Each structure stands twice: as structure tokens, then as C-alpha cells.
Amino acid sequence: MLIRSIALLVCVVWMALDIGLWIARSKTLKYKEALFCLCFCVLSVGTMLAMWRFLASTLEEQEEDVFQNLTTDITIPTPDDVFGSYFTLKNGGKSSIGHIEYCHIHLIVAVSGDYYTGFRIMNSTTGWVLGPGTEAESIQCLRPPFGSTMVPIVCADVEFDVHYSLEDQPEIRKEKYFRFTGVREENQFVFVRQPPGGGGNNRTDDYRYCGSYLKQGRVPSP
């Protein structure tokens, strides 16, 4: 943006001088000073509009770069500790971001038939700045605040919601969602990535992947 702005200012100054010389040398024009001021005002307004567009274009490029390069992986400590899983948020973009995260439990089903659904938990250590260039942060926020005795887990459908903004544009908030489902396979619990649900509360969507594992169990309550 800086190079484009400097180039634009040079062109505008050159054009203003050229117009000024042409007006000064003309023998037929009247009100030369007023005419030059009018031309200079038009050039100035055009320059401001062009520079505003340069700024908007730069911000759009930064936002798109961050969105495309903001990634998350999920890791489970042991096959029997699904609630202890943690998300690793990576900023592969070129700009620092401020961020807030939420862990959204669509549906987690135990072998017993007990299940959790519809919980959305805010990460208590959010608000940090995540720098550019693959800087990462690990967040553990799936465990319900009232604890859980549901083991072993047979299916889990969870979503990681990231609300972020560019560090130098905190008033412009963006969102990105990462959804994972996991199932028990022999002695392992394997998570795979799914299309994001978007953070809304929708019972049909909550039951999309793990609903078939439900039995006549009970919903743990606080």
C-alpha cells in the first residue's frame, strides 16, 4: 500500500503542476486562480478516494490471508480421555490477531448411553494475541465445568469456534469454525474433520453424526 500511495501522490503532484503551467500560460482563460483551485480540489478528492480504496483492498487481503491460514487440530491425550482433548490453534497468516474461543459440544455419547449435548464453553484464557507465521496456541476447554464420569466415550461431535480480529483493526470481528467428530475404533479414539456447523444451536445438526449412537440413556445435568 505504501508504494502505491507514494506513486499516486507523485502522479497527482505532477499532474497538478502540469495543469497549473497550462493555465498560467493560457492567454484566453479567465479566473485562472479559481480554475486552478477547482482542478486541484478535484485531484485531491480523487486521490483521497483512491487511497481509501487502497486501504480497503489491503485490509481485505489481510483478512482473507488470516482466514485462509487460520487452522486448528484436535489431539486426545488418551483414548479414554475425550473430555481432556485440546485444540491447537495456528495462525499461518501474515498478521497478528486477537481472539476468543468457544468449545461447542454438539453431542458426546458414552457406551452406557449417557450423553452431553448443546454445551458451549468459553475458553478462560482467551484474549491473547496470536502472532503471524505459524504461531500456535493450545486450548483445552471441552471438559464440562461440573465434571464428567461418562467413560468410555463411543462417539463425540465437537466444534471449535474462533472469534478474532486483526490486531490493528479490533473493531472488525470475524469468525471461523472447526468441527470434528470422533469414534472409538478398537482401543483407539479417532477424530476426523467435518464441515463446520456455524456455531448455531440446532438439535438436528447436533445429532447429525453421533445421533445413531444414542440409547435410552440420561443427560447429565449440572
Q: Are residues 104 and 114 in the same domain?
A: yes
Last residue of a domain, one of 45, 68, 91: 68
Question: For position 90, which CATH number holds?
Answer: 2.60.40
Give per-residue burial for 38-63: e unless 16+ CB within 10 Å, then b: ebeeebeeebeeeeeeeeeeebeebb
Q: Are residues 105 and 46 in the same domain?
A: no
Last residue of a domain, one of 68, 87, 116: 68
Q: Are residues 94 and 141 in the same domain?
A: yes
Q: pLDDT tens digits for 80-104?
A: 888 888 898 899 888 888 888 888 8
Q: Are residues 103 and 165 in the same domain?
A: yes
Confidence of residue 179 (pLDDT cuts 50, 70, 90): very high
> Given this model, what pLDDT does residue 155 score?
92
Of residues 40 and 63, which shows the higher confidence score? 63
Peptide bond into 222 cis (omega under 30): no
Domain ranges, residue 209? 70-213
> What does the pLDDT average to over 137-147?
72
Q: Are residues 118 and 132 in the same domain?
A: yes
Q: Are residues 190 and 84 in the same domain?
A: yes
Task: Determine contact, residues 104/117, Cβ cutoff 8 Å.
Answer: no
Whole-number Å distance between alpha carbons of 92 and 73: 13
- The answer on pLDDT for 216 being more than 50 is no
